[in-house]
A = this chain, B = another copy of it.
Amino acid sequence: MNVPASPEQPTTSDLDESAQQSDWRPWERLGELAEAGDAIGVENFLSKLGPNDQALALNRLDEEHYCAVLTLLPAEEAAEILRHLSETQAAELVDSLEVSDAAAIVQEMTSDEQADLLGDLDDDQAESILRALPPEDAASVRELAAYSDDQAGGLLVREILRFNQKSLVHEVITTLSENAEEFRDYDVQYAYLTDDDEKLVGVLPMRNLLFAKRTDPVADIMILDPLSITASMPLDELRDFFDAHHFLGVPVVDDNHKLLGVVHRNAVDYESTRAAENDFLKSQGIIGGEELRTMPLWQRAKRRLSWLSINILLNIGAAGVIAVYQDTLSKVIALAVFLPIISDMSGCSGNQAVAVSMRELSLGLVRPTEMIRVWLKEISVGLINGSVLGLLVAIVAVVWDGNPYLGLVVGVALCANTLIAVSIGGTVPLLLKRLGFDPAVASGPLLTTVTDMCGFFLVLGLATAMLERLI
């Protein structure tokens, strides 16, 4: 859940607490307090923990106990704690709460947090929570939930300062001072000014109020016709937008230019970090949502298997190439030693090329259409690295087996296959992006399968061609 920045500044307090010695087990004490139904105790104890220790403590409690903790807390406190957990963990907790308790907590969240959370819940649980919410809240959540986390609509906050452009400076200031408490949780760097039809007409930096005559209409000191975006703007465009403009937030309008809410820079930064972290998880084969070790065993096993089973089929396909050349292999058994080396090393070279391409794609330094350019850049590197690696493995082969032709075969094979690997590794992410697939997921397996096949084919094909020299 993203953390909208609000300007309150408490005095020194729990800062030191979060530095805890590593043998300290907060969940045990928390469990006892929950067991005893000690609401005050639970609240005080959690308030002393840093966000990491809160996450850890809740993560280690069994379902019965963490449900107790969340229901013992005032809904607002519970919402505050969920806000600091990873979305996966928050959803895990809320999924097992009673609908009424869950609804009470959800009501205390900002609109974007509600949309995020409900999107991550079981559909049934989400639906029953929505039914338990006040109709207008439910309606607005459903509206936002239509957008994914990587669109402006999924990130916008409805809780903003809105004024009619006709209001006067002193009216705004009074509203501010009267509701200081409530507005503290909003991003009150700007107020947003609308006309009588709720259409966005201007933005008012709070600072301007300092220099204004209190009897002026705010329209005089507002920024007219400010930049705004639509709810459908995707995350990468939002990143570009906040790169290009130093705003803390940008107003979101619908097709009729009605003000829907504001997307904060923090929300965009938060989602960007998540996207990068997910790319890492996916590249390592954790697909379909991140895994926490507290999740049910079967769910964890199933998710990982879905990925592994595809991989093993690809592997068996590649190994088929070896089967074809069994005779050669049985005559020159030494080749079997080098097959895994060739396959693994080509995989490494290819993955490097994949990583560079994905990085340049995310920086906008390469376009999905520029496959030729990338390919040329890669083969040059591939030639150098392929030659070095090929030479290295050739020397090993000769030293170990004594037969220079064995060295020739494995050396040439590794060199050639490195070229193939970097060519595929560099271009496949661009291709997948063009075809609308997720490069982080698909690049790896595609790459290894093809490079394995080519690698085995090169080694064994060459060996077959010069068999009499090898025996």
Residues of A within 8 A of B (CB): 3-15, 18-19, 22-23, 50-53, 55-56, 59, 84, 86, 89, 173, 176-177, 180, 185, 188-190, 203, 205-207, 209-211, 223-227, 237, 240-248, 265-266, 269-270, 272-273, 276-277, 279-281, 283-286, 290-294, 297-298, 300-301, 304-305, 307-309, 311-312, 315-316, 318-320, 322-323, 326, 329-330, 333-334, 336-341, 343-345, 348-349, 351-352, 354-356, 358-360, 362-369, 374, 377, 380-381, 384-385, 388-389, 392-393, 396, 400, 448, 452, 456
Residue of B14, B209, B297, B354 near A384 (CB, 8 A) is B297
Chain B residue numbers with a CB within 8 Å of A356 are 286, 290-293
Nearest residue in B to A222 (C-beta to C-beta)?
B9
Cross-chain contact of A340 among B265, B319, B393 (Cβ < 8 A): B319
Separation of A300 and B13 alpha carbons in the complex (Å): 49
CB < 8 Å neighbour of A364 from B56, B223, B311, B374: B56
Is the CB–CB distance between A227 and B339 below 8 Å? no
CB closest residue in chain B, given A315:
B341
- CB contact under 8 A between A315 and B344, given known A305-B385, A364-B56: yes
Asked if B348 and A381 make an inter-chain contact with CB atoms under 8 angstroms apart, the answer reads: no
Structural contact, A240 and B374, CB atoms closer than 8 A: no
A114 to B307, CA, bound (A): 45
Whether A3 contacts B276 by the Cβ 8 Å rule is no
Which 4 residue pairs of A and B lie closest in terms of their CB atoms, listed nearest first? A52-B364, A284-B355, A269-B269, A276-B276
Q: Which residue of B lies closest to A183 (CB)?
A: B207
